[in-house]
Amino acid sequence: MNKNLLKITGMAAVIAFTVACKDNQNEVDASAEEEVAVATVEAVTYNVDTQASNIAWVGSKPTEDHTGNISLSSGMVKVNGEELESGEFTIDMNSIEVTDLEGDKAASLKAHLTGEREGTSSDFFNTAMYPTAKFVVTGLNMTDGKAMLEGNLTLKDVTKNVSFPVTVAYDGDKMMLNSEEFTIDRTDWGIKYGSSSLADVVADKAISDDIKLTINLVATK
């Protein structure tokens, strides 16, 4: 191998490592379920505006990314002054939509994710059996200058505690909670279809274990 090729290979490795670190900047370390937060009696309830709120997602394979949104079916937070003390949100898994494809291609991918396509019910979210997911707040703490929202995320009857950076703002009777993009490993919730960790999956056909999420919530008194 000549020196120029060695240099190019080395540079490519550095770039790949840098991009990977950047992509995983907010990678969630899923841990055991924790005790949920309990609000004080002085706390005021804000109910989630499900029409104005959404969860954006990005899933990927070696050759392409797919993007989409998921809606909330209900949710509320309890706030004391401007301090978020507790909350819980129900996610409508049947609302999964694909935004990077159109027509039959979008419908086909949605049907695979929800398990509606014949023979795929156990591949991803199996919404016929698990129509909702849930997030329950366990805390809101400052870490390295960032507000980190902590909570128990339940997918397909598996509950893990996660933490991700958020900003919380208020405008009159309205509260806005927006997360930075963060990454969960779907296999932590037992969703292993197409994972490169499986012996029979060819690497260039594997589906990334990582799902990138961005949460945007609006709630009102």
Residues 54-91: pLDDT tens digits?
999 999 998 899 999 999 999 999 999 999 999 999 99
Q: Which of 30-34, 78-82, 159-163, 203-207 has the lowest mean pLDDT?
A: 203-207
CA distance 201 to 203: 6
Partners of 216 in the beta sheet? 54, 178
Fold of 28-220: Lipocalin (2.40.128)
Angle among Cα 171, 175, 179 to the nearest 5 degrees reads 120
Domain ranges (residues) in the chain: 28-220
Q: Give me the DSSP letters along 113-159.
A: HHT-STT-TTTS--TTT--EEEEEEEEEEEETTEEEEEEEEEETTEE
Label residue 93 by pLDDT band (50, 70, 90).
very high
For the segment 129-151, the average pLDDT, to the nearest whole number, is 96
Residue 96, pLDDT > 70, answer yes
pTM of the shown model = 0.87
Pairing of strands 64-80, 83-98: antiparallel
Q: What is the pLDDT of residues 197-217, one digit of tens each?
A: 886 676 667 999 999 999 999
Q: What is the pLDDT of residues 13-26, one digit of tens each?
A: 333 333 333 355 68
Q: What is the pLDDT of residues 174-204, one digit of tens each?
A: 999 999 999 999 999 999 999 988 866 766 6
Task: Give the pLDDT score at 198.
Answer: 84
For residue 211, what are the CA distances in angstroms to 10, 67, 91, 208, 214?
28, 10, 16, 8, 10
Q: What mean pLDDT is reported for the chain?
A: 89
Side-chain half-sphere CA neighbours of 36 within 13 A:
16
Q: What is the pLDDT of residues 108-118, one digit of tens each?
A: 999 999 999 99
Task: Give the pLDDT score at 202.
Answer: 62
Residue in 215, 172, 179, 178 with CA at minimum distance from that of residue 44: 172
Q: How many residues does the chain have?
A: 221
